[in-house]
Amino acid sequence: MNNLRRLINKALLGMAVGTLSLGISTSALAETDFTDKTIEWVIPFSEGGGSDKWARFYAPLLSEQLPGKPTVVVKNMPGAGSTKGANWFAERAKNDGLTILGTSGSTQFPFLLGDPRVKFKYSDWPIVLASSTGGVAYLPAELGAKWKEDPKSIMGTNFIFGSQGATRLDLIPLLAWELLGMKVDPVFGIKGRGDGRLMFERGEANIDYQTSSAFLSKVMPLVDEGKAVPIMTWGALDDDSNIVRDPTFPDIPTFKEVYEQVKGEEPSGPAWEAWKAFFIAGFPAQKMVMLPKDTDQEIVDTYSDAFKAVTQQDDFKAKSEKLLGVYEQVTGKKAASFKKLGTEVEPETVAWVKDWLGERYGVKLK
């Protein structure tokens, strides 16, 4: 994660000091009280996916740290590749601190690409937590065994993949697999990655990927039973912006390693640069907790302080690494810098991806 620190420092240069929460605000803790209140944590995906697992892990811990120890309930609001729930939050959520939103890369990518269904702006929302994560692709046992012997031996296989949409976080695997020369036909329209996993378990799909939290909790049992074989991760970044092995899955090769094995050379060119740019946008700040527009700074500080208290608990690291993986969980100023990384990509890279989406999947974006 040292590279993230370098990227974060660079990102912070362009941020206005004073718009950020700079640590624990004791006055916020003293004045804000959620006694006997219920807080809804909106997750714009179906149950069982990485975002759902992440929110359900944090919800009881957040409840314990907020003043008054309110009940925190996760409300799944899937649809339109997460834009339905995010739009609802932007348009309907009150700024009284009783509704929060959990976004993921599948919410960020439509925003970055100018998807016409997006009716929200990330700049409107104060961020109170950012969570890094990774992703793992896997195959059924028979195909996985052949892959282990030689990935090139099954490049001609007709793969089926349950996808939320090409403009979502699924852009990362879809572009990666195309760069490898794999024949992957996505079935678009699922409401969350958990639904993609269920398609895999029912035999309706023969390739899938999950973000780390869902892979650890839902796919590892399949691996242990011999029903699934992990084939690659998307990787992590080292101090020089190189793709290296995911610290949560150090024994699984990265997409870059697989590319080099299959193609006999390092990846390069505009497709690789686009993949890497969106990987950085989608995974270092993969999941974020937001409050509604115009929320009082006292409430923002209270949430930031509560999440910070959660992450500073003595047993938090052991708990989080088991369920979420070995990734940073940040609040305050650092969370704001993660948000910047996750919601800004160079215009020329965005243009390349839009062209690719149009040519490959008929997706027309302005």
CATH code at position 48: 3.40.190.150
Among residues 228, 255, 278, the one where a domain terminates is 278
In a domain, 116, yes or no: yes
Do 153 and 121 share a domain, yes or no?
Answer: no
In this predicted model, what pLDDT tens digit does every residue of 287-319 receive, in sequence order? Answer: 999 999 999 999 999 999 999 999 999 999 999
**Stretch 238-250: mean pLDDT, rounded?**
88
Task: Pick the closest to residue 140 from 81, 226, 72, 216 (CA basis).
Answer: 226
In this predicted model, what pLDDT tens digit does every residue of 103-139 receive, in sequence order? Answer: 998 899 999 999 999 999 999 999 999 999 999 999 9
Residue 251: pLDDT over 90 = yes
Q: How many structural domains does the chain have?
A: 2
> What secondary structure letter does DSSP report for 219?
I
Residue 19: pLDDT over 50 = no
Do 204 and 240 share a domain, yes or no?
Answer: yes
Q: What rounded mean pLDDT belongs to the chain?
A: 91
Q: What is the largest CA-CA distance in the chain?
A: 64
In a domain, 24, yes or no: yes
Domain that holds residue 183: 135-278
Task: Pick the closest to residue 44 from 91, 85, 94, 92 (CA basis).
Answer: 85
Do 210 and 247 share a domain, yes or no?
Answer: yes
Do 101 and 183 share a domain, yes or no?
Answer: no
Do 92 and 54 share a domain, yes or no?
Answer: yes
The verdict on pTM exceeding 0.85 is no
Give, rounded to a whole angstrom, the gap between the first and last alpha carbons of the chain. Answer: 35
Residue 41: pLDDT over 80 = yes
In this predicted model, what pLDDT tens digit does every residue of 193-220 receive, in sequence order? Answer: 999 999 999 999 999 999 999 999 999 9
Do 237 and 149 share a domain, yes or no?
Answer: yes
Among residues 247, 278, 309, the one where a domain terminates is 278
